[in-house]
Amino acid sequence: QVQLVESGGGLVQPGGSLRLSCAASARLYSMGWYRQVLGKQRELVATFATGGVTNYLDSVKGRFTISRDNAKNTVYLQMNSLKPEDTAVYYCNVREWGGKVFWGQGTQVTISS
């Protein structure tokens, strides 16, 4: 069982920045972030697979950057130029080489003036 510890959510004004972190208890094939608004489906925000392959939601391209520290088994999501529509609960998502998926507990990100 992989343990995940998320941090970095909060309240910020439009145009501001936040950085999310997710530390895992093991080395993983891929690490990333999803987000969910109440009443809507959870959507992929960004992922970082072994080998450096990244994938982003179109609406965050150019504003969000995902990075990974393999020595710390940690993935980061730097979020800049935040918009009210980025408000959501953000979930860390990781995948083992065997394909098993684990989710973090979620961290609230609120963009509001």
CA distance 93 to 105: 10
Per-residue pLDDT at 80 exceeds 90? yes
User: What percent of the residues of the chain are helix, what percent strand, and what percent coil, each to the nearest 5?
Assistant: 5, 50, 40
User: Confidence class of residue 51 from pLDDT cuts 50, 70 and 90?
Assistant: confident
pLDDT tens profile 61-70: 999 999 999 9
